[in-house]
């Protein structure tokens, strides 16, 4: 293991692993540097230019792109830095629809965080504000909404789709004031190669990408995704007794902070009124509710009446590999038949 590098940030001596950016090293040690386009899961690109810092003996430097060096002396706040950041922030918000009160990202928006830290001159913004592009909201996807009037062109969604999902269905399109994030042919997102994983939605720092009908949970519970046997770690948000959100557990060994479309957007079945919550047993031609003990006893009794090709098993993709192995072993060794199949193949 490489030795840690020692550097000084705002007079505080900190340590970081070789290759760590100044921004990540500072944040890991509780020193805030304003930033917008950087994300720990993605390659740094230095688009927003608000993470500038001063390094002793150098010109102002983009901290997200600069690795730490031994003995480096960094200053994160000065009169020149504050002025430069303010100008860069103005360029980000000039064409931004910042009607924050009606935005689903209100209070969780990184642009709001930057504005609170850096500050803006409202009169300057009004004087420089460009005509709104008035892009139509893309609500073609059944699970999330795209509002390009709130996009700040940080590129996080583009890099997420390319680096994490490997889909590459979105990119920067057009030029100058008309630059936007678009799919091939600037079509609705539903007509693209998007697989609706929601990874871009989870990482968007502003309100340009938000889940459809988003509801703020009152509490969250860490659990395992119920859809397949991969064991993806997820955090489920609930309001009352209803699931309203889900997100991946960062660093989970099974999914490493990612979820598929089912895990992120498909948990509504839990609260569906047609969902069975108790076993049903047929009595006198009618299905009636029963206890789990009664249902399992009935199944065990029925199994004893069948052998060989009279019996068949359909295994489940929601079970682990080990559970499915036991299922096929039971079918072959106990029920004495090879009649077993898997729902993922049917």
pLDDT at position 1 is 53
CATH classification (class only), 5-128: alpha beta
Beta strand 52-55 pairing with 61-62: antiparallel
Alpha-carbon distance of 307 to 337, in angstroms, equals 8
DSSP run (H or E) holding 171: strand 170-173
> What are the domain boundaries of the chain?
5-128, 215-275, 280-342
Specify the CATH architecture of the domain 215-275.
Answer: Single Sheet (2.20)
CA distances from 146 to 37, 171, 200, 261 (A): 18, 14, 11, 16
Which pLDDT tens digit goes with each residue over 43-85?
A: 999 999 999 999 999 989 999 999 999 999 999 999 999 999 9
Alpha-carbon distance of 194 to 172, in angstroms, equals 15
Q: Which residues, 6 or more positions from 237, have their beta carbon under 8 angstroms from its beta carbon? A: 217, 219, 220, 243, 244, 245, 246, 247
Query: If you average pLDDT over residues 88-117, what whole number do you get?
Result: 88
Three-state DSSP class for 135?
coil
Query: If you average pLDDT over residues 290-297, what whole number do you get?
Result: 94
User: Per-residue pLDDT for 155 more than 80?
Assistant: yes
- The angle that helices 110-118 and 79-93 make with each other, rounded to 10 degrees, is 140
Query: If you average pLDDT over residues 290-316, what whole number do you get?
Result: 91
Alpha-carbon distance of 159 to 166, in angstroms, equals 9
Using CA atoms in the order 65, 58, 26, 106, what is the torsion angle rounded to 10 degrees? -70
Which pLDDT tens digit goes with each residue over 191-239?
A: 999 999 999 999 999 999 999 988 999 999 999 998 888 889 999 999 9
Alpha-carbon distance of 23 to 44, in angstroms, equals 10
User: Nearest to residue 236, comparing CAs of 271, 203, 267?
Assistant: 267
Alpha-carbon distance of 274 to 124, in angstroms, equals 56
Alpha-carbon distance of 149 to 202, in angstroms, equals 18
User: Per-residue pLDDT for 346 more than 60?
Assistant: no
Alpha-carbon distance of 31 to 10, in angstroms, equals 9
């Amino acid at each position: 293991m490489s030795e840690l590098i020692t550097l000084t940030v705002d007079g505080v001596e900190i340590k970081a692993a070789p290759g760590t950016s100044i921004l990540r090293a500072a944040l890991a040690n509780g020193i805030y540097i304003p930033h917008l386009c950087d994300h720990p899961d993605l390659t740094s690109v230095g688009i927003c230019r608000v993470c500038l810092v001063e390094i002793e003996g150098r010109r102002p430097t983009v901290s997200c792109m600069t690795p730490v060096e031994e003995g480096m002396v960094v200053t994160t706040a000065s009169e020149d830095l504050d002025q430069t950041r303010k100008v860069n922030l103005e360029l980000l918000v000039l064409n931004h629809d910042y009607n924050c009160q009606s935005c689903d990202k209100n209070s969780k928006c990184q642009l709001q965080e930057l504005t609170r830290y850096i500050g803006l001159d409202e009169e300057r913004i009004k004087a420089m504000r460009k005509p709104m592009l008035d892009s139509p909201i893309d609500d073609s996807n059944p699970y999330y909404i795209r509002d390009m009037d709130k996009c700040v062109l940080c590129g996080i969604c583009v890099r997420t789709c390319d680096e994490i999902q490997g889909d590459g269905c979105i990119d920067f399109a057009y030029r100058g004031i008309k630059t936007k994030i678009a799919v091939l042919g600037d079509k609705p997102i539903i007509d693209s190669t998007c697989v609706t994983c929601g990874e871009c939605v989870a990482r968007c720092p502003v309100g340009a990408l938000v889940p459809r009908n988003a509801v703020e949970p009152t509490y969250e519970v860490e659990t395992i995704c119920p859809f397949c046997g991969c064991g993806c770690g997820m955090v489920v948000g609930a309001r009352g007794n209803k699931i309203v959100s889900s997100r991946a557990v960062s660093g989970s060994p099974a999914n490493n902070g990612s979820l598929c479309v089912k895990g992120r957007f498909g948990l509504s079945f839990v609260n569906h009124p047609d969902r069975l919550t108790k076993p049903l047993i047929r009595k006198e031609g009618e299905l009636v509710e029963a206890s789990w003990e009664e249902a399992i006893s009935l199944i065990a009794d029925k199994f004893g009446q069948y052998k060989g090709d009279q019996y068949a098993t359909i295994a489940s993709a929601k079970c682990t590999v080990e559970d499915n192995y036991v299922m096929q072993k039971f079918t072959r060794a106990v029920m004495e038949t090879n009649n077993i199949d898997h729902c993922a193949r049917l």
